[in-house]
Amino acid sequence: MEIIVDQANGQLPVTILKLRGDLDASNFETVIAKAKELYEMGTRRMVIDFSQVPFMGSSGLVALHSIALMMRGESGINLEAGWQAFRSLEHTQEEGAQQYVKLLNPQPRVSRTLELTGMNAFFEVHTDLETAVFSFR
């Protein structure tokens, strides 16, 4: 898994996390660690670019959720928590999709994993980087 970080300015500053490679149990903690590093450097809004992620397992969902909680200032989830992670999303669901992490260009297999678990309800998906960056208000 290669992770490339970029910055963009829409109405607000946004960090772009571009992932390259499959996102699975072997590397999801690396993605969380990178997001934590960026959070500590001041990042509060993030676009995660999935254009070059052919596959994502449930570990990837844990990473996404953990990063979304982190960006809104909550502590990350217990990585061993499994379905508990989804439970803690319930109050997020009441508010609609969270506004801190947005996804760019998930490929069909990644979209399917998001849909199967209902995680697509919590993340805005964009197909264009500029639109994604300017969607933060």
Partner 1 sequence: MGVHLLQLAAHLDELVPLRCFVEEKTTDLQIAADKIHDILLSVDELVTNIILHGYRGREGSIEIQLELQGDSLIVFLRDQAPLFDPTQVPPPDITLPLEKRPIGGMGIHLARHLMDEMQYRVTSSGGNELILVKRNVLPYKAQRLE
Q: Which residues bind partner 1 (CB under 8 A)?
A: 22, 24-26, 55, 57-59, 61, 80-88, 108-109, 112-113, 116-117
Smallest distance from partner 1 to CB 38, Å: 24
Residues 6+ apart with CB under 8 A from 14: 7, 8, 45, 46, 47, 132, 133, 136
- CA 53, CA 110: separation in Å to the nearest integer? 8
Is the CB of 99 or the CB of 117 nearer to partner 1?
117
Query: What gap in Å lies between CA 66 and CA 83, rounded to an integer?
Result: 13
The residue (of 105 and 113) whose beta carbon lies closer to partner 1 is 113
Give min distance, CB of 102 to partner 1, in A.
23
- C-beta closer to partner 1: residue 98 or 113: 113
Q: How far is the CB of 90 from partner 1 (least distance, A)?
A: 9
Structure tokens at 47: 């676009």
